[in-house]
Structure 1
């Protein structure tokens, strides 16, 4: 399966490491549900912390390249990249209010954190999706850097402005797509997995088959009814 399905070509964890990662996933799921329902923090804080967790989980799952992967193995450089990337987003989450007050007057340490965090996230995207998405990102970044340089004429100001808008505002990496993912998509995936594992989804499909499967156009009616039942639960 790993040979033909890109999504299944991930690290292989067995035994205790697998249980630890499964527990980490469960904690992350509970965290997402709790934060979505009860948190009143700044969006920058919530989304930065969410991406920090995504970086950790992503590097635990996806190896540097697709191919033969040894069970329960993670290279030291992946651990370093994972820790650095997560630390950058946790740093932003912790100091979000102070950084927001600085606006584009961020300091060199903030620029360094933003660059490292962005590069780590880009590498994770390459591992998950592939090189095409990375090419698109690089082209857009080049365009943004060029425009900022044309406006300011100063390489430092160019870099500072781009890093601030890209990493420290909700119009960058923690923008609308990540917000939608954090607020809705993750919850739908969690509850969808819950329905699947508990057998409720199969029950709804069987129930819809019993009710409408025998009639004319039964397949369409079954699809509509089962979808409505699953959607009602989620």
Structure 2
């Protein structure tokens, strides 16, 4: 039996040939996650403060409220979801590309609030800058949609953009030639489509974003506060106590919990966010 080497040199020599876990990338990944996570958390706090201020102190006009809300959402999206997907460490080229998309998000969110008076005076007579910014906004939104929702809805949006340009007077007359007569139209050029979607209320900054930037976000934030503080759990436990021992108890508990929570939040989305994580898995487990 040989004596085991205990000197530092021997221990280093003994482990030199062993398979060690790769540690070079770990500090980089940790720094990346902490940077993105901290930045997203700061932006989320600022967004909540902004929403509460505009909801209770000083309401803003729609071309101020909606673009600024979208600015926060897009910036957090590009920080939280890498180009290659969730859970993947960004490479340097991906960081550069994400930085460009963040710049696009800033342009999308600040262009209208900063130049609204000038834009209003030239409605219908758009400048080259208006057209370029509108194109950047569309590209930024499509990429954010791809990262969060997936390729399916993004492809649908691109198809509708192509369809809008398909026509004898559009950007793609050759595509209009193969469109069936039942759904054919004159076609529009890209300049008109992009500016109509970005610089008016009939596109990006329409009613859906307006509702999300005002009522829905506030109610969802309120529901999150109820969940974190345990108040939301109280209503769910109350529903289980009332209906849990009966036939179909989990389903009835879901109804009662949604009813009690909805009477406070007043928003269906906030209701689903607070009660759904508890009631839906239970119903699925019990069939």
- CA displacement, residues 125-156 of structure 1 (integer Å, 9 cap, x when unaligned): 111111111211111112222359359x9xxx
> Could you say what secondary structure the match of 2:260 adopts?
helix
> Which stretches in structure 2 are left out of the alignment for 5+ residues?
1-28, 174-187, 266-287
Q: Residue 139 and residue 70 in structure 1: after superposition, are their counterparts in 2 closer, same or farther (change >3 A)? A: closer
1:116/1:148 CA distance change after superposition, 3 Å: farther
Q: TM-score, normalised by structure 1?
A: 0.81
Match of 1:128 in 2: 148
The CA RMSD measured in Å over matched residues stands at: 2.9
**Shift of residue 229 of structure 1?**
1.9
Compared CA separation, residues 110 and 36, structure 1 to 2 (3 A): same
Deviation at 1:180, TM superposition (A): 2.0
**Alpha-carbon contact 1:114-1:168 (below 8 Å) kept:** yes
Q: CA deviation at 1:27?
A: 1.6
Question: Does the C-alpha gap of structure 1 residues 209 and 66 become closer, same or farther in structure 2, counting only changes over 3 Å?
Answer: same
Distance 1:59 1:14, change over 3 A: closer
Aligned partners of 1:148 and 1:161 also within 8 Å: no
TM-score, normalised to structure 2, is: 0.67
Offset at residue 62 of structure 1 (A): 1.0
97 and 198 in structure 1: CA distance in 2 versus 1, 3 angstrom threshold: same
Structure with higher RCO (Cα < 8 A, 6+ apart): 1
Match of 1:30 in 2: 49
2:135 paired with 1:104: no
Alpha-carbon displacement from aligned partner over 1:98-150 (angstroms, at most 9, x marks no partner): 21231110100111111111111111111111111121111111222235935
Is the Cα–Cα contact under 8 Å of residues 208 and 225 in structure 1 kept in the other structure? yes
Aligned residue-pair number: 220
1:169 alignment counterpart? 200
Q: 1:228 aligns with which of 236, 253, 259?
A: 259
1:206–1:51 Cα change, 3 Å: same
Q: Look at both structures and tell me which one has the larger radius of gyration over its CA atoms.
A: 2
Structure 2 distance, partners of 1:98, 1:223, is 52
The structural deviation recorded for 1:168 is 0.6
Q: Which residues of 2 match residues 114-125 of structure 1 at below 5 A?
A: 114-125=134-145
